[in-house]
């Protein structure tokens, strides 16, 4: 029986893993290498509660996404009620413009019964009066929302620090697992050794080479993404717009977030002026009035890129007691509720919310 679990990594996946397990009465020790939780990819992302191109995703991602999306409002309502922090779940819809694979997108929507439809470009121009010229076709999904990542992280953290069966250790660098009698029973860290019935690794892009030292061919590599932020009037942009692989996300207070790049440069996480200007030009092409707006912030983050973007969720073969919940690539926030529930179902050996086989490490070595 699982009575204590170590969760290593306190981004959105680690925090929500801890919360989901703790709600089941399990004692959770959450270990974070940084001085504060959620400061890596979870802080840096755009917070769209949808894959950017869901029809291009592996079907196993769609399975998790659909479960999460259908329950996200209830999830946010629960967090807001328990923490008194509003993550600003903002349903705006999303327009995709001038897609080459538009028909594939429409076919996908019909297959999975998702509310994505073709719309006339004149209708788009009426809905988004600040849209640039040159766009000739569009599809639209009306239920797409976005959230303020840092606020959701703060809400979860606030709840966890008040749960008596959760203990959070920051400035605590994980270095290796501890094994005894053929089972993983804890971890070595920069602070001390910690022991538990199970260990869950949620370290995102920092999964590290130690898995390879165990003889495990599990690949999660960092994929750098840079973003910029403008401040406009609150009603400047009513919906998310995506064109030429880049997007503009409206926040309720008028901030417009524009991203993102995809750079495989190892653990280099420094934003660059060259990319800042590229993102600014993309923003102006979509929304010409942004030429008069100042870039008020520019940052980057390292996404945890697993093969095909399919996360690893489940127990590691030949290492009983060692579990993974990582590799969510660009979809950490939209996949988090379903992924963490699936992990909890597996750990407690009960019926799973979706077929677990596509995510199990044992099936992907």
For each of the domains in the chain, give its residue range(s) and CATH number, in order of start.
4-56+150-219+307-363 (3.50.50.60), 94-142+221-305 (3.30.9.10)
Token representation of residue 8:
């290593």
Count CA atoms within 13 Å of residue 168 on its CB side: 25
Per the DSSP assignment, residues forming a β-bridge with 114 are none
H/E stretch holding 341 reads helix 332-347
Distance, in Å, from the CA atom of 71 to the CA atom of 66, rounded to the nearest integer, reads 9
Lowest mean pLDDT, pick from 202-211, 287-296, 340-349: 202-211
Sequence-separated (6 or more) residues with CB below 8 Å from residue 121? 135, 136, 137, 138
Distance, in Å, from the CA atom of 303 to the CA atom of 291, rounded to the nearest integer, reads 29
Average pLDDT, the chain: 95
Per-residue confidence band for 231, with pLDDT thresholds at 50, 70 and 90: very high
- What's the pLDDT score for residue 1? 63
pLDDT of 215 higher than 90: no
pTM over 0.85: yes
Quick: pLDDT tens for 11-21.
Answer: 999 999 999 99
Distance, in Å, from the CA atom of 208 to the CA atom of 228, rounded to the nearest integer, reads 28
Q: Within a 10 A sphere around the Cβ of 345, how many other Cβ atoms?
A: 17
- What's the pLDDT score for residue 213? 74
Query: For 115-119, what is the mean pLDDT?
Result: 97
pLDDT of 168 higher than 80: yes
- What's the pLDDT score for residue 212? 76
Distance, in Å, from the CA atom of 251 to the CA atom of 151, rounded to the nearest integer, reads 12
């Amino acid at each position: 029986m699982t009575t204590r679990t170590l969760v290593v990594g306190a981004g959105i996946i680690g925090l929500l893993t801890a919360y989901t397990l703790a709600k089941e009465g399990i004692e959770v020790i959450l270990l974070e290498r940084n001085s504060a939780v959620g400061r890596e990819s979870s802080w840096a992302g755009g917070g769209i509660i949808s894959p950017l191109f869901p029809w291009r995703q592996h079907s196993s991602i769609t399975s998790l996404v659909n479960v999460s999306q259908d329950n996200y409002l209830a999830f946010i309502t629960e967090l807001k009620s328990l923490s008194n922090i509003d993550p600003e779940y903002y349903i705006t819809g999303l327009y995709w413009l001038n897609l080459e694979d538009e028909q594939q997108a429409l076919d996908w929507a019909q297959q999975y019964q998702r509310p994505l439809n073709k719309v006339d470009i004149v209708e788009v121009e009426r809905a988004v009066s600040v849209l640039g010229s040159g766009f000739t076709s569009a599809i639209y999904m009306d239920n797409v929302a976005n959230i303020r990542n840092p606020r959701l992280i703060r809400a979860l953290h606030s709840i966890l620090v008040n749960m008596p069966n959760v203990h959070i250790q920051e400035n605590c660098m994980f270095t290796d697992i501890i094994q005894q009698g053929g089972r993983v029973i804890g971890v070595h860290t920069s602070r001390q050794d910690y022991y538990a019935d199970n260990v869950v690794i949620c370290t995102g892009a920092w999964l590290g080479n130690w898995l390879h030292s165990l003889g495990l061919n599990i690949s999660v590599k960092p994929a750098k993404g840079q973003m910029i932020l403008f401040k406009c009037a609150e009603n400047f942009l009513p919906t998310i717009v995506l064109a030429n692989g880049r997007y503009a996300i409206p926040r309720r207070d008028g901030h417009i977030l524009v991203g993102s790049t995809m750079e495989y440069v190892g653990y280099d996480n420094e934003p660059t002026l060259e990319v800042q200007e590229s993102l600014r030009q993309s923003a102006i092409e979509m929304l010409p009035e942004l030429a008069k707006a100042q870039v008020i912030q520019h940052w980057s983050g390292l996404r945890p890129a697993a093969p095909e973007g399919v996360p690893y969720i489940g127990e590691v073969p030949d290492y009983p007691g060692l579990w993974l919940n990582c590799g969510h690539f660009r979809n950490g926030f939209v996949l988090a509720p379903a992924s963490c529930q699936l992990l909890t179902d597996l750990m407690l050996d009960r019926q799973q919310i979706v077929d677990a086989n596509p995510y199990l490490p044992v099936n992907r070595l």
